[in-house]
Amino acid sequence: MNEHLSPRLAIQLRRYGFDAVSSQEAGMLSESDKDQFGWAVSQERAIVTFNFSDFMVIHEEYLASGGNISA
């Protein structure tokens, strides 16, 4: 869960059996979007965010680079 979403949402999702983690729990608060994206890729996770447009650009760059994350 991106930091714009409450960490309580990840807790509630886990209660229903989902493997969810908040940015806060992952130690990723205030990290750049690219760093959060890179962490999610390294953990084979998806990012849940309201910041769709910025993450779409990062995702397109990731695909265009053949799956390389650059800062």
Residue at 47 is within a domain: yes
Domain assignment present for residue 69? The answer is no
| Cα end-to-end span (Å), the chain | 21
Domain that holds residue 54: 7-64
On the CB side of 39, CA atoms within 13 Å amount to 18
Residue 69's pLDDT is: 77
Question: 71 lies in a domain?
Answer: no
Q: Please state, in angstroms and rounded to a whole number, the distance separating the CA atoms of residues 49 and 21.
A: 13
What total of structural domains would you count in the chain?
A: 1
Confirm whether 13 is domain-assigned: yes
So what's the pLDDT on residue 71? 53
Q: Is residue 50 part of a domain?
A: yes
**Could you say which residues of the chain have pLDDT below 70?**
70-71
Q: What is the model's pTM?
A: 0.84
For the stretch 48-63, pLDDT in tens is 999 999 999 999 999 9
